[in-house]
Structure 1
Amino acid sequence: MRALTIDHSAPGHLSLRAVPDPEPAPHQALVRIHSFSINHGEAAFVVPSGEEGSVPGWDAAGVVVRAAANGSGPAPGTPVVTLGPAGGWAELRAVDTELMGRVPDGADLGSAGALPVAAGSALRALRRLGPILGRRVLVTGASGGVGRFAVQLAARGGAHVVAATSDPAKGEALTSLGAHEVVAADALKAIAPVHGVIDVVGGPQLVSAYDALAPHGILVAVGHSSGDGEDFPFGALFGDAGRHDRSLTTFFLMDDAAGLGADLEWLASLVARGELDPQIGRRDDWSRTQEALGALLAREVAGKAVLDIPVATGL
Structure 2
Amino acid sequence: MRAFIPTGSATDPVAFADVDEPAPAADEAVVEVEAYGVNRGEIMRLHRPKPGWRPGKDIAGVVVRAASDGSGPAEGARVVGHPPHSGWAERVAVRTASLVELPAGLPATQAAALPLAGLSALRLLRTAGSVAGLRVLLTGASGGVGHYATELFTAAGAEITAVTATPERGERLRALGAHAVVQDVADAEGRFDLALESVGGASTRTALGKLRRRGRLIWFGGASREPLTLAFFDFFNGPESGSIQHFSYTDSDVPDGQDLATLVRLVAEGRLHPEIGRQEDWKATGQVVQDVRERRVRGKAVLTVGDRA
TM-score (norm 1): 0.89
| CA distance in 2: counterparts of 1:134 and 1:241, whole angstroms | 20
What's the counterpart of residue 272 of structure 2? 276
Identity of aligned residues (%): 40
SS at match of 1:236: helix
Question: Are the equivalent residues in 2 in contact too, given 1:7–1:52 (CA < 8 A)?
Answer: no
Say whether the 8 Å CA contact 1:282–1:301 is kept in structure 2.
yes
Q: Could you tell me which residue of structure 2 aligns to residue 225 of structure 1?
A: 223
Contact 2:10 2:47 in 1 (8 A): no
- Looking at structure 1, the residues matched to 215 and 102 of structure 2 have their Cα atoms a distance apart, in angstroms, of 35
State the 1:127 CA deviation.
1.2
> Where does residue 157 of structure 1 map in the other structure?
156
Q: Does 1:243 align with 2:258?
A: no
- Aligned residue number for residue 213 of structure 1: 211
Amino acid paired to 1:137 = V
1:67 — aligned with what?
Answer: 66
2:77 is aligned to 78
Match of 2:294 among 291, 295, 298: 298
In structure 2, give the amino acid aligned to 1:250: H
Residue 252 of structure 1, CA deviation: 1.8
- Cα deviation for residue 11 of structure 1 reads 6.3
Secondary structure at the counterpart of residue 192 of structure 1: coil
- Name the SS of the counterpart of 1:255 in structure 2: coil
Alignment partners' CA distance in 1, 2:210 and 2:197? 12
Counterpart of 2:240, as a letter, is R
Task: Give the superposition deviation at 1:222.
Answer: 0.9
Contact 1:126 1:198 in 2 (8 A): no
Kept after mapping to 1: 8 A contact 2:118/2:148? yes
State the distance in 2 between where 1:47 and 1:261 align.
Answer: 26
Specify whether residues 56 and 139 from structure 1 end up closer, same or farther in structure 2 by C-alpha distance, changes over 3 A only.
Answer: same
Map 1:86-101 onto structure 2 (within 5 A).
86-101=85-100
Distance 1:23 1:255 in 2: 27
Look up the equivalent residue of 2:20 and give its one-letter code.
Answer: P
Report the Cα offset of residue 218 of structure 1: 2.6
Residue aligning to 1:173: 172
Deviation of 1:286 (Å)? 0.6
Partner of 1:4: 4
Task: Give CA-to-partner distance per residue, 1:109-149, whole Å, 9 cap, x none.
Answer: 11110111111111101211110112211111111121111
Query: 8 Å contact 1:8–1:52 — kept in the other structure?
Result: no
SS at match of 1:149: helix
Aligned CA RMSD, in angstroms, stands at: 2.4
Stretch of structure 1 that moved more, 10-19 or 89-98:
10-19
Runs of 4+ aligned residues of structure 1 deviating over 4 Å after TM superposition are 8-11
Cα 1:258–1:25 change in 2 (3 A) is farther
TM-score, normalised by the number of residues in structure 2? 0.91
